[in-house]
């Protein structure tokens, strides 16, 4: 039985460029461009699901776990929206970067160098974010099961990843890594991309039902990401725990 979801090669890859996390023009530039649409999607959905009041800090008292948090690109905005955020990452270097940056911005975020299966917690989370992480883990099924164990009943899990299609190979690897050089070559392995139906089927086994499913598309004219019906490359899904 496998009891580890950490892919050492992937961790080393991201640890090497960890100091780049907060540079909007650096190696993580695509994530900085991606962030506004991710934040609004997550925020709006949490507000709707938990029937929260609209305010400057609408996510007050919502406990969020950001899995594979990196340097904190998503943890920080969630904290600013009032959420109680725990960020975990298997790279010690990423966690150090995240801690320094949140301290500098007076944000109270609990950053831990861990993977989901090794996380010891007393209380489960209202929301789990698995954003651009499932395509980098060692054992996807065990990873999703471990995440599900950390989620409260009626809690939400967001998963954003890349579909395993010919189009995603051409766009996300050939285009983004080799032609446009948006990402360092070798960032992604196409074989590790996950088809939506695989994700739905695996999470169903762990008492999570699909609530919402959308594609995400980059608009070259506006230089922004938009929500779309096209899930052939990037997609985001929202699951609710039964």
According to DSSP, the residues that pair with 120 across neighbouring strands are none
Our CA angle for 235, 60, 214, nearest 5°, is: 10
- 3-state SS class at 28: coil
Instruction: Using alpha carbons, list the distances in angstroms from residue 70 to 8, 74, 84, 85, 229.
Output: 15, 9, 17, 14, 28
What is the rounded distance in angstroms from the CA atom of residue 81 to the CA atom of residue 84?
9
pLDDT on residue 184: 80
Sequence-distant (6+) residues with CB within 8 A of 122 are: none
pLDDT on residue 183: 77
- The pair phi, psi for residue 49, each rounded to 5°, is -65, -45
- 3-state SS class at 183: coil
**pLDDT tens, position by position, 147-203:** 999 999 999 999 999 999 999 998 888 878 787 787 788 888 899 999 999 999 999
pLDDT on residue 11: 92
Contact 3, 176 (CB under 8 A): no
Of 117, 90, 116, nearest to 15 (Cα)? 90
Sequence-distant (6+) residues with CB within 8 A of 44 are: none
pLDDT on residue 188: 84
The CATH number of 8-241, from 1.10.10.10, 3.10.300.10, 3.40.50.150, 3.40.50.300, is 3.40.50.150
What is the rounded distance in angstroms from the CA atom of residue 141 to the CA atom of residue 206?
10
pLDDT on residue 2: 56
Q: Which residues of the chain have pLDDT under 50?
A: 1
- Residue found by looking up tokens 């070259």 in the block: 220
What is the rounded distance in angstroms from the CA atom of residue 197 to the CA atom of residue 174?
24
- Delimit the domains of the chain by residue range: 8-241
Beta strands in the chain (DSSP E): 63-67, 84-89, 110-113, 125-131, 151-162, 208-219, 224-228, 234-241
């Amino acid at each position: 039985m496998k009891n580890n979801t950490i892919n050492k090669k992937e961790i080393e890859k991201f640890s090497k460029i960890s100091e780049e996390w907060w540079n909007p023009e650096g190696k993580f530039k695509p994530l900085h461009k991606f962030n506004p649409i991710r934040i609004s999607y997550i925020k709006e959905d949490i507000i709707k699901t938990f029937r929260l009041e609209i305010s400057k800090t609408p996510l007050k008292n919502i406990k969020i776990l950001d899995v594979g948090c990196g340097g904190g690109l998503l943890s920080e905005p969630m904290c600013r929206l009032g959420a109680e955020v725990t960020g975990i990452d298997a790279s010690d270097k990423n966690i150090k970067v995240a801690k320094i940056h949140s301290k500098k911005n007076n944000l109270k975020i609990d950053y831990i160098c861990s993977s989901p299966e090794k996380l010891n917690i007393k209380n489960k989370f209202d929301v789990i974010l698995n954003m651009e992480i499932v395509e980098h883990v060692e054992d996807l099924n065990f990873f999703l099961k471990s995440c599900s164990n950390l989620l409260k009943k009626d809690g939400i899990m967001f998963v954003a990843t890349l579909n395993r299609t010919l189009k995603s190979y051409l766009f996300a690897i050939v285009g983004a890594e080799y032609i446009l050089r948006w990402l360092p070559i070798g960032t992604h392995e196409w074989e590790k991309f996950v088809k939506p139906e695989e994700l739905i089927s695996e999470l169903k086994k762990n008492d999570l039902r699909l609530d919402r499913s959308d594609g995400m598309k980059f608009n070259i004219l506006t230089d922004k990401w938009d929500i779309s019906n096209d899930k052939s490359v990037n997609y985001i899904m929202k699951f609710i725990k039964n």
